[in-house]
Amino acid sequence: MNVYDGWRIASMLTHHGMTQTDNVADADIIVLNTCAVRAKATDKVYSALGRIRRAKKPSALFGIVGCVARESGADAFRRIPDLNFVLGPQSYHKLTQILDNPDARLLNIDLGGLEKFDELPQMEKSPTVAYIPIQEGCNHCCTYCIVPYTRGREISRSFDDCVRDTIHAAKTGAVEICFLGQNVNGYKYTDENGKTYRLSDLIRAAAKIPEIMRIRFTSSYPTEMTDDLIEMFAVEPKLLPFLNMPIQSGSQNVLTRMNRPYSLELYTDIIDKLRAARPDIQISSDFIVGFPGETDSDFDQTMEIAKRIKYINSYCFKYSPRPHTAAALMTDQIPENIKATRLAQLDEYLNSVQREFNESCVDKTLSCLLEGPDKTGRHLVYRTPYMQQCIVVRPDGDAPVLTDIKITAANKASLRGEIVK
Ligand code: SAH
């Protein structure tokens, strides 16, 4: 979501006649796009602002957009008095106002819903992987999560707008579509005739576009994984066999306190149905360790579910208390050292499964999408259908955008391969 927002901001400033620079000292405007999901991310914003302030031209405008802007509001100006703008995730389309009126402070943290999508200029060129936001905000209100506060209540964009953006992306260079939403599989839009559209309808519409070869979506909430959507994995070959469906914890007790009221049986049933629909599917998850009140036995149950489901490409985080959330007020917070020990244990296991999965790909041929050159410029980085990085030697001449690659080697982080001619 933040990568997408960053692209839209860059494209808006380009429309305004600006060009991008990698050098802070050259910039006339510096926009820091921010994440508030864990405290560490928020802390980094303020240290980065200090660095930017020292490195920038005195006349350059600087400020923050996104979730830290929404969370901090006017307080950001108190912390950094010469800051020029503070714009929340649903009001960054107002950024160019600061260029017209550089002496005023620009503050807007309103939750404007979908207004920004109507006001932002269309991107002229689409990246190969185009993100298409189909809904904003989230209604689930997990007790640890700041997102409902920073991005607001859930609202789905109209089916026609989503399809129009998908076609535009395809006509301007996209080969892969990634539908985006905080609760993407909860997408639900009813038009003026009373017809209701779900994510499965969007997948079907995207799959009909000849330029689009791969489709995925993120992030999914377990109980929104309805049968019509599971069916898509069986019938739509363009839908990639990879799904991020965070479980967060393997303890029923912790899930209840997280306000994630699904049973572990229901969750594993959904995984079984997905595997029946698409035998080669792989699942990834996010985990939080050290949620308030998490006992050793709760944590052991998280390890157990991880071992049972064998997730690939997963993330685990230490619970981080966030403002405006219920869990931050719970009295049984877990000491930092216990969180760190649990994180290391789970992380080590998830990494070992990732390595095993990567190694199981050796000698297979996978259809991969070009991401771009690596840092040295001598290699190209591709993405497999499971979002693994696959590195190949750069061929002479133009490299194929979507190609079969024979996997020749693997480690924990990436694969190596050869383009199949
Ligand atoms: N709805 C989005 C939420 C983004 S946050 C999504 O599902 O991706 C991404 C992940 O960050 C969550 O899945 C969760 O595992 C983690 N997270 C959210 N709040 C957190 C907190 N307070 N402390 C630690 N991790 C958190």
Picking from 93, 220, 246, 73, the residue whose alpha carbon sits closest to that of residue 149 is 73
Beta partners for residue 389, in sequence order: 383, 414
Distance 37 CA to ligand 1 centre (A): 6
Picking from 321, 316, 259, 269, the residue whose alpha carbon sits closest to that of residue 288 is 316
Which secondary structure element, helix H or strand E, spans residue 216, and what is its range? Answer: strand 214-218
Pinpoint the residues of the chain covered by CATH 3.30.750.210.
Answer: 122-240
Hey, whose CA ends up nearest to atom 8 of ligand 1? Answer: 219
Number of residues that make up the chain = 421
Pinpoint the residues of the chain covered by CATH 3.30.750.200.
Answer: 241-360
Rounded Cα gap, residues 416 and 390, in angstroms: 5
So what's the pLDDT on residue 361?
98
- 330-341 pLDDT tens trace: 999 999 999 999
Residue 387 vs residues 4, 55, 100, 164, 363: alpha-carbon distances, Å: 17, 36, 42, 26, 18
So what's the pLDDT on residue 421?
83
Distance 294 CA to ligand 1 centre (A): 17
- Asked: is 241-360 a CATH 3.40.30.10 domain? The reply is no
Rounded Cα gap, residues 85 and 64, in angstroms: 6
CATH topology of domain 122-240: Transcription Regulator spoIIAA (3.30.750)
Rounded Cα gap, residues 185 and 170, in angstroms: 22
Rounded Cα gap, residues 153 and 160, in angstroms: 21
Distance 306 CA to ligand 1 centre (A): 17
Helix (H, G, I), strand (E, B) or coil at 361: coil
Architecture field, domain 365-419: Beta Barrel (2.40)
Picking from 278, 242, 247, the residue whose alpha carbon sits closest to that of residue 264 is 247
How many other CB atoms sit within 10 Å of the CB of residue 4?
15
Rounded Cα gap, residues 151 and 39, in angstroms: 17
Segments in the chain below pLDDT 50 = none
| Atom number of ligand 1 nearest to Cα 146 | 19
2-108 — its CATH code? 3.40.50.12160
Pocket of ligand 1 (CB under 6 A): 37-38, 138, 144-145, 147, 182, 219, 246, 248, 286, 288, 317, 319-320, 322
CA 170 to chain centroid: 20
Does this model's pTM top 0.85?
A: yes
Candidate of 138, 146, 285, 317 to mutate for ligand 1, largest count of ligand atoms within 8 Å of Cβ: 317
The DSSP symbol for 309 reads H
Helix (H, G, I), strand (E, B) or coil at 90: coil
Count CA atoms within 13 Å of residue 324 on its CB side.
18
Rounded Cα gap, residues 161 and 133, in angstroms: 10
What does the block give as tokens for 380? 């190209």
So what's the pLDDT on residue 112?
78
Distance 146 CA to ligand 1 centre (A): 9
So what's the pLDDT on residue 408?
98
So what's the pLDDT on residue 113?
81
Question: Dihedral of the CA atoms 325, 329, 330, 333 (nearest 10)?
Answer: 100
